[in-house]
Amino acid sequence: MRRCSALLISLILAISAQANDASSPPSKPIKQASASAKEEASAPKEKEKETRKSSKEKESKESKDAAKDAMAADELAVKIAERLALLRKEKDDVARASTRAVARSPAYVAPVRKVTPAKPKEGSEHGSSAIIAAMGGHGAVHWSYDGEGGPTNWGKLNSANAKCDIGDRQSPIDIRDGIRVDLEPINFDYKPSGFNVIDNGHTIQVNVAAGNYISIMGRNYELLQFHFHKPSEERVNGRSFDMVVHLVHKDADGKLAVVAVLLERGKAQNIVQQIWNNLPLEKNLALAAPTAIDINQLLPEKRDYYTYMGSLTTPPCSEEVLWMVMKETVEISSEQIAIFGRLYPMNARPLQKTAGRLIKESR
């Protein structure tokens, strides 16, 4: 009985187990759930692949852009190099042209040193050639007293010298047949002054400091400089003198007045000796004297004079110059004449035609 009961219980349990198995869901949905889980697990991987692909595409695009930029930079560099080469070629062409121009230019000529007066004075800087001749005595370089540059050719050397040929009031002249009248005395207002001496290639010239004047016919003329000629350029009734000194003055309107002092062989002249003592060793180089000069000592004691209208006696031979030639001579020694003669044996312009000019003299 007990055995039968045990078997019965086992049978019932078996039947119950089969019934439970029959009521349980099939295994296929489980497999589907497993596939869905796999799909969910693989989704991040796909997303990662897409991210990597997008990153590669972006990198590829950036690489292409960089390549394009590099190509553009190379093209720009080529263009810059071509432009620089063109500029260098143009520069070389200009340099070659400049070299050819320099090769054709005349040889360099050193400038002539200018003379500085003892002390600058108002109005002593003169631009016109006529005033330069008065100031410098003989500042031109193309004329002389003999040869091709001599007086007969002065007017042909430069158009500015035309008056030397065609002027009708030229100097010097032979002073004769003047009318004797009571001429106004020349008021000399000279004072001891600084000075320098220059050998300008045509004469010995003395430049004086400002403050020396003459007054005549209501006009004041300031002394600019004085210089020497051998023999005298002027003649009086046909007579020539050993030397002459010309004192050149200018008024506020630029008018010129020249006082001529005739020098005759005799005793030594103190002012002339003072000038000779300060002769420069080189031409066109002014030598400043250490002491002052008193030009009054160069004048004769008697101040009677001849007067006429004339010109400069050197190029450009400008006219409208008031001339006053002192009637009394001043003595100069043979030695002093010889010193000047070693430098300038003859520096006098030939006589010019009087051409009917009025000459007056003190009576």
Q: What is the mean pLDDT of each run of 10 residues along the chain (363 residues)?
A: 48 48 44 45 54 59 59 61 67 60 42 43 38 44 88 94 96 97 98 98 97 97 98 98 98 98 98 98 96 98 98 97 98 98 98 97 96
Q: Residue 166 falls within a domain, yes or no?
A: yes
Q: Is residue 122 part of a domain?
A: no
In a domain, 9, yes or no: no
Contacts of 209 (CB under 8 A, 6+ apart): 117, 118, 119, 121, 193, 194, 195
pLDDT tens digits for 116-163?
A: 445 444 433 333 344 444 444 444 447 999 999 999 999 999 999 999
Count Cβ neighbours within 10 Å for each residue of 115-124 and write b for 16 or more, e otherwise: bebbeebeeb
Q: What is the pLDDT of residue 142?
A: 75
202 is catalytic: yes
- Is residue 233 in a domain? yes
pLDDT of residue 209: 97
Residue with the two structure tokens 């039947």: 15
On whether residue 62 sits in a domain, the answer given is no
**pTM metric for this prediction:** 0.64
Q: Is residue 104 part of a domain?
A: no
Indicate if the alpha-carbon torsion angle 174, 176, 179, 184 is positive or negative: positive
Amino acid at 33: A
With respect to residue 138, please indicate whether it lies within any of the assigned structural domains: yes
What does the alpha-carbon distance between residue 68 and residue 62 come to, in Å, rounded to a whole number? 10
For residue 271, the enclosing domain spans: 129-362
* Burial (CB count within 10 angstroms: exposed 0-12, middle 13-18, buried 19+), residue 300: middle
CATH of the domain at 166: 3.10.200.10
Number of domains in the chain: 1
352 in helix, strand or coil?
A: coil
Per-position DSSP letters for 260-289, written without gaps between them: EEEEEESS--HHHHHHHHT--SSTT--EE-
Let me know if residue 70 belongs to a domain: no
Options 138, 202, 229, 249, the catalytic residue: 202
